[in-house]
Amino acid sequence: MERVLKDDAVQEKGERARMASFIGAMAIADLIKTTLGPKGMDKILQSTGRGRNVTVTNDGATILKSLHIDNPAAKVLVDISKVQDDEVGDGTTSVVVLAGELLKEAEKLVNMKIHPMTIIAGYRMALECARDTLLQKTMDNKENTDKFRTDLMNIAMTTLSSKILSQDKEYFAELAVDAVLRLKGSTNLESIQILKKPGGSLKDSFLDEGFILDKKIGIGQPKRIENAKILVANTAMDTDKVADIEAAEKQKMREKVQKIIGHGINCFVNRQLIYNFPEELFADAGILAIEHADFEGIERLALVTGGEIASTFDNPESVKLGHCKVIEEIMIGEDRLIHFSGVAMGQACTIVLRGASEHVLDEAERSLHDALCVLSQTVNDTRVLFGGGWPEMVMAKEVDELARKTPGKKSHAIDAFSRALQAIPTIIADNAGLDSAELISQLRAEHHKENCTAGIDVITGSVGDMQKLGIQESFKVKQAILLSATEAAEMILRVDEIITCAPRRREDRM
């Protein structure tokens, strides 16, 4: 075999390859484990590139995205956390921790000389059992709007309680629920804009109905327009300065401006610069001209006001204009912004975040984005579960019973799956500095009673009633965690050889 591969290729077989996979995956899980739960800690990520950017976060996906990882198995875990983030928005840490625990248990079984395929078969059975259990235990209040809103509030508060916004979680949960209910069931978060403005405290954040563009109104232009007709464009509005050309250019620009005014608009938003000359022409016509609106800004503005981005102005009838009731200038902190209210797309809104520094604002935005994602998924799939380690204990109990009924070596794997599930409440308790062994054994005893709603109450440090405390999670998030973690663990378990290829050498071209 040595002759087949090129000189620098490295090959690890059998036990060594499996060890390398297990160790890499478990190292990643251990790294991120401390950020789990309401008392999880944050990590500081510092880039070594220009500017040495610093990120302070406890969002699993953000941490793993920023790491450059060499170990192939660890990369699989980074991928599942990314997918979890894109798919449901929350549970990015849990999914990696669960996969890590499943592998930790699998390693013990492999050392007992149980074949990886047997372990995978056992995990598959356990997964089916756990998923069915969850399905039976879900609650659904979509018929009753008040109850459903309470569910959404609880889910938002549970999601936010492990983030930087945990101090004001009622306030931000209210913001997030209001924003998501305006979407009326769509999961497109494009129409919820999040603006970050340093200054003030997090409590000063607010939800604004309408759209806010981070631009100033030009000189000599109307400061307030009612019943606005808006043309959103991406076109060059600059003229040449050379003397002979200037007159011709000015004439050309004047014609262009006339064409634009001919659309019967009173507000013109352009992505590119607008020079002084066309700006004067617009001001004379009483049209508000906004230049250099960044691309995300104009894309979203077009979407929200119901217009389209235009770049040619020859046939006005084919251009779709945007509409809104009032455009005016507002002040937030020290900055002036342009506020579009009464927009065509009723579900649009802007959440303005205030905070002490850029880092706080970035983390607040990530936290809020997680909450918005989870809520928009829950509005579509209205099933909810209790939180605080309750679902894991319920699943572990059923999986345990399945292990007792199953003959053969598979039962060891099923048993291992149940231990891995219990690791999540254990870690939540450990992160809060509680005695996890004591708490988990109490929880297990509680869960042998009928219709138990017990979970870990991190605040009082004891077993609490999740129904009274209102700690709830979305079923969709839990299901995604379960499926992704098990599949990732399976994939890593199947490995028995790692071949690292040699890079192509550059020939000396001298």
- Which residues belong to the active site? 59, 92-93, 370
d(CA 507, CA 500): 21
Tell me what percent of the chain is helix, strand and coil, each rounded to the nearest 5: 50, 20, 30
- CA-to-CA distance for 79 and 98, rounded, in angstroms? 14
115: closest CA among 493, 499, 500?
493
Give dist(CA 314, CA 83) in Å, integer. 45
In the block, tokens 């401006």 appear at 257
Phi, psi for 230 (deg, rounded to 5): -110, 130
Segments in 287-432 forming alpha helices (H): 295-305, 358-380, 390-405, 410-431
Q: Which residue type does 18 have?
A: R
The answer to whether the beta carbons of residues 391 and 137 sit under 8 Å apart is yes
Rounded Cα distance, 328 and 94, in Å: 45
Find all residues with CB under 8 Å of 17, minimum gap 6, and list them: 495, 496, 497, 498
Which helix H or strand E contains 11, and what residues bound it? strand 10-13
**Residue 154 to residues 84, 157, 344, Cα–Cα distance (Å):** 21, 5, 31
- 58 phi-psi bin (left φ>0, alpha ψ -120 to 50, beta other): alpha
H or E segment to which residue 14 belongs: helix 14-33
Contact 463/446 with Cβ under 8 angstroms? yes
DSSP SS3 for 338: strand
C-alpha 56/C-alpha 45 separation (Å) is 6
Cα separation, 464 vs 170, whole angstroms = 20
Helices (H), 69-194: 72-87, 92-111, 116-137, 145-160, 169-182
Whether residue 379 contacts residue 151, with contact meaning beta carbons closer than 8 Å, is answered with no
